Chain A
Amino acid sequence: MTDAIWTTLKLATLTTVTLLAIATPLAWRLARGRGVWRDVVGALVALPLVLPPTVLGFYLLLAFAPGSPLMAPLAVFGVRSLAFTFEGLVVASVIYSLPFAVQPLRNAFEAMGEAPMEAAAMSRASPLDAFLTIALPMARRSYLSAAVLVFAHTVGEFGVVLMIGGAIPGRTDVVSVKMYELVESSRTTQAHVLAAGLVVFAFAALVLVYALDRRAHDRGTR
């Protein structure tokens, strides 16, 4: 069980860090862009919210298989397949939790509008300088809530992980799948411990997100 918890924490941390880096330019473009591309990209980003995780898992499995269009170029670097590997789990989690990172950041960037950035440009800040010194700090609470949401959502994922990871002990065995195994094999006491732990964790994470959101509202910055 500790193996599964350790793997889960590692997966959630890596996913969170990767996603915040990917979601930042994506959310910025979505908040600033115009026209039909914004709707198309916005819909693509939100797709994991409405798709059954098994559908996502199915396609990822195909993409991660040896010789697939995604894997063929990676074979040069000695990577033949990502299916049933920890790295594959990270990639899958990043895609699966994408909307949970992009949405809060996009909201924050939209809410601050052009005004603070124009004021920065008028203070001789280049666009990148202005982004780092004005937009990022103004959105810091949204970053925190995006991080908590992604972390918690990654801990909670089940369908994708089951299809991609295959629950290999010590490598791709995470708590949500472990839970399923414990119940299947009637190890009720262990199941109780793990389940209660997850409930407490999920509750604490949500309280934190709501508190951050409220404070952001109170200060007029998101």
Chain B
Amino acid sequence: MTADRLDLDIAGDAYGQSFQFRCDLPLGGVTVISGPSGAGKSTLLRCVAGLNRLPGRIRFGDETWQDGRLFVPPHARQVGFVFQDTRLWPHMSVRETLSYARRRARGPARVSEAQTIALLGLAPLLDRAATGLSGGEQQRVAIGRAILTQPALMLLDEPTAGLDRDHRAEMLGLLDRLTGALDTPVLYVTHDAVDAVRLADRRIEVADGRITGVVLERPADPLDGLSAEARDGLARAALAAGLPPI
């Protein structure tokens, strides 16, 4: 799993509120950004995407997206963004929407259009107008559009917010499978604790316009790095001690 670092140090005012975001952490798997409404979670995500601009420095992997002089415009950052309100284009069909993103993708293709369609179950929707779909269907198309830009970093802004409970569960399952299938780190904004626990490898806590903590939700496997003999030895010892086999 890639673990590109996100190095972030930005501060400033937006929407009549003060923000100061500072962190430097490896992003592999799913990183949930959690916190109360109005804390600045979405603003943080939009700054990473370049949609908002707060003075400071943003680096991802070996690329600098922003520093004192440089500001890489949003379309030149290799991120995929899923908006809470989907933002599908009313004049395009689902097929046109997907190929719009695919045609503009740069960098190595990690996932094909066919794979995306299969993964998200979009085949029956392809010829429909993007705006004539249900909330859950629209969000799946929006996720497909983001994936097909071949992002180095996926940004999701409360993609389950507009959905009812059943569709939320379905969407979470989908995201779980998706992040497993794609080797792309994910930043996922949510104010829902259940979402956070279910998906997160680590969690960035945001409150009052600041990052207040980074929590590791799934600690690395303690057996990682051990040889097969050492593992067998440990397993035999555990069984001998009366622990149930896993």
User: Which residue numbers of A lie inside 8 Å of B, CB to CB?
Assistant: 115-116, 118-127, 129-130, 133-134, 137-138, 140, 219-221
Which of B80, B85, B88, B91 has a CB less than 8 Å from the CB of A122? B80
Residues of B within 8 A of A127 (CB): 73, 75
Residues of A within 8 A of B80 (CB): 122
B106 within 8 Å of A by Cβ?
A: yes
Residues of A within 8 A of B105 (CB): 124
Q: Which 6 A-B pairs have the closest CB atoms?
A: A124-B104, A122-B81, A119-B87, A121-B74, A123-B101, A121-B75
Taking a contact as CB atoms under 8 Å apart, the answer to whether A123 and B87 are in contact is no
B203 within 8 Å of A by Cβ?
A: no
Which of A122, A140, A219 has a CB less than 8 Å from the CB of B74? A122
B71 within 8 Å of A by Cβ?
A: no
Residues of A within 8 A of B106 (CB): 124
Taking a contact as CB atoms under 8 Å apart, the answer to whether A116 and B75 are in contact is no
Q: Contacts A115-B85, A116-B89 given: A123-B100 contact, CB under 8 Å?
A: yes
Given contacts A121-B73, A123-B104, 6 further A-B contacts (CB under 8 A): A116-B90, A121-B74, A123-B101, A124-B149, A133-B100, A138-B90
B145 within 8 Å of A by Cβ?
A: yes
Most buried by A among B79, B80, B100: B100
Which chain B residue lies CB-closest to A115? B87
B146 within 8 Å of A by Cβ?
A: yes
Residues of A within 8 A of B74 (CB): 118, 121-122
B178 CB, min distance to chain A CBs, angstroms? 17
Expressed in whole angstroms, the Cα–Cα distance for A120 and B106 within the complex equals: 14
Taking a contact as CB atoms under 8 Å apart, the answer to whether A220 and B90 are in contact is yes
Residues of B within 8 A of A221 (CB): 90-91
B235 within 8 Å of A by Cβ?
A: no
Expressed in whole angstroms, the Cα–Cα distance for A153 and B118 within the complex equals: 53
Expressed in whole angstroms, the Cα–Cα distance for A125 and B89 within the complex equals: 13
Expressed in whole angstroms, the Cα–Cα distance for A140 and B91 within the complex equals: 10
B49-96 at interface with A (beta carbon < 8 Å): 49-51, 73-76, 79-81, 83, 85, 87-91
Residues of A within 8 A of B81 (CB): 118-119, 122
Taking a contact as CB atoms under 8 Å apart, the answer to whether B91 and A138 are in contact is yes
Which of B87, B88, B101 has a CB less than 8 Å from the CB of A118? B87
B128 CB, min distance to chain A CBs, angstroms? 15
Expressed in whole angstroms, the Cα–Cα distance for A119 and B76 within the complex equals: 13
Which chain B residue lies CB-closest to A140? B91
Which chain A residue lies CB-closest to B74? A121
Residues of A within 8 A of B85 (CB): 115
Expressed in whole angstroms, the Cα–Cα distance for A127 and B104 within the complex equals: 13
Which chain B residue lies CB-closest to A220? B90
